[in-house]
Amino acid sequence: MQSFVYAANPVRVIFGSGTLAGLPDEVERLGLSRVLILATPQQAQSAQDLASRLGARAAGVFAGAVMHTPVDVTEAALKVVSELGVDGLVAVGGGSTTGLAKAIALRTDLPQIVVPTTYAGSEMTPILGETRDGRKVTQSSPKVLPEVVIYDVDLTLGLPVALSVTSGINAIAHAVEALYAKDANPVVTLMAEEAIGVMARALPGIAADPHGRQARSDALSAAWLCGLCLGSVGMSLHHKLCHTLGGAFNLPHAETHTAVLPHALAYNAAGVPAAMARIERALGTADAAGALFDLASGLGATMALREFGMPRDGIDLALELAMSNPYWNPRALDRDGLRALLVHAFEGRRP
Ligand code: NAD
């Protein structure tokens, strides 16, 4: 018998093609009249487009979001929020932009409308990771959960294939770890298995035809489910390792998840037979770790952490960090096993 606690996060989700047209209505529904639109510098034009759609309801654009939500960027955005008398936030972009919206909401309680353009899934979680003096600290608060999420497949058609693949594997990682979470529950388990299969089938379709709406739509809806998984149950070894590696060596987020996931899964496999059966069924394989490695590398992903600039002597530091801060994992953390995992991910070997 499985005992569980289930709580749903109250987010209004709008999904489809052309759904961005509904943004002004959503702003109105929330009673907002002066929203600040957030983006990265690379997506400043998308933010301007949204501002044009909103007309007088747009108070301004802040296109300064960067990876890992540094507190100084949040503080610069907060200044703009107060100068412009902003009463709501609209974030258009990936996890970095969503992170900025969440960081502002944490401090101001301003309502957020998020328009995701990657598969990171942050928009569905009450989790915020922020970086101060090079250290990333994660917290969970209902204050950072967005009020509305508008998924518009059209905005993902131009997501470069390489980032689509790694972002898609990043999403799969949320679902994989949800299947063996300590606080797993039947609803999240159903979503996770479904999402892994849909995403794994969508990614080759995206690589073959990046503008194909069906594969893009499948990937985005799977990303939504994966984000729900991440926001509902606790993550284990894989997410903790990626967090540690990203913070210690400033490694790129989705790419790091992609290189680590097959090895973290191989490490945990023996301890989680029921989860492995679901992952293997979703992927149509008898070797989930190998299949994920083949999926990502076959679509051109870089599978060796050393190629992202991690130094070889960083393996020892990563091992110490991973062992020194204990957390729940379905298989006990043993030094030799973790070292082997890190060496394999560093070298990019197939698990
Ligand atoms: P990202 O948001 O940093 O985006 C990467 C780059 O791609 C950026 O330059 C962005 O502007 C660009 N981009 C995004 N969408 C695009 C599109 N459709 N077309 C062209 N370019 C596009 O990357 P990410 O992987 O989405 O997010 C990573 C960040 O999100 C990390 O800081 C990570 O910690 C955080 N995150 C947080 C959670 C959470 O629940 N708190 C979950 C997942 C990720």
Query: Using one digit for the tens of pLDDT, what is the confidence trace for 66-104?
Result: 998 999 999 999 999 999 999 999 999 999 999 999 999
By alpha-carbon position, which residue is closest to atom 6 of ligand 1? 94
Other Cβ atoms less than 10 A from the Cβ of 273: the count is 10
Topology of domain 161-347 in CATH is Dehydroquinate synthase-like, alpha domain (1.20.1090)
Range(s) within the chain of domains with CATH label 1.20.1090.10 = 161-347
Tell me the per-residue pLDDT of 266-299, one tens digit each, with 9 for 90 and over. Answer: 999 999 999 999 999 999 999 999 999 999 999 9
The CATH architecture to which 12-156 belongs is 3-Layer(aba) Sandwich (3.40)
Range(s) within the chain of domains with CATH label 3.40.50.1970 = 12-156
pLDDT tier at 326, thresholds 50, 70, 90: confident
Mark 209-224 as b/e (b = at least 16 C-beta within 10 Å): ebeeeebbbbbbbbbb
Tell me the per-residue pLDDT of 106-132, one tens digit each, with 9 for 90 and over. Answer: 999 999 999 999 999 999 999 999 988
What is residue 84's predicted lDDT score, i.e. its pLDDT? 98
127: left (phi over 0), alpha (psi -120 to 50) or beta: beta
Q: Which of 142-146, 279-283, 317-321 has the lowest mean pLDDT?
A: 317-321
Mean of pLDDT values over 6-11 = 92
Cα 14 to ligand 1 centre (Å): 20
Cα 167 to ligand 1 centre (Å): 8
Give residue 82's identity as a one-letter amino acid code.
S
User: Which residues, at least 6 apart from 49, have a Cβ–Cβ distance to it below 8 Å?
Assistant: none
Tell me the per-residue pLDDT of 20-60, one tens digit each, with 9 for 90 and over. Answer: 999 999 999 999 999 999 999 999 999 999 999 999 999 99
pLDDT tier at 199, thresholds 50, 70, 90: very high
* Ligand 1 lined by 159 (C-beta under 6 Å): yes
Instruction: Let me know if 134 is exposed, middle or buried by CB neighbors in 10 A (0-12, 13-18, 19+).
Output: exposed
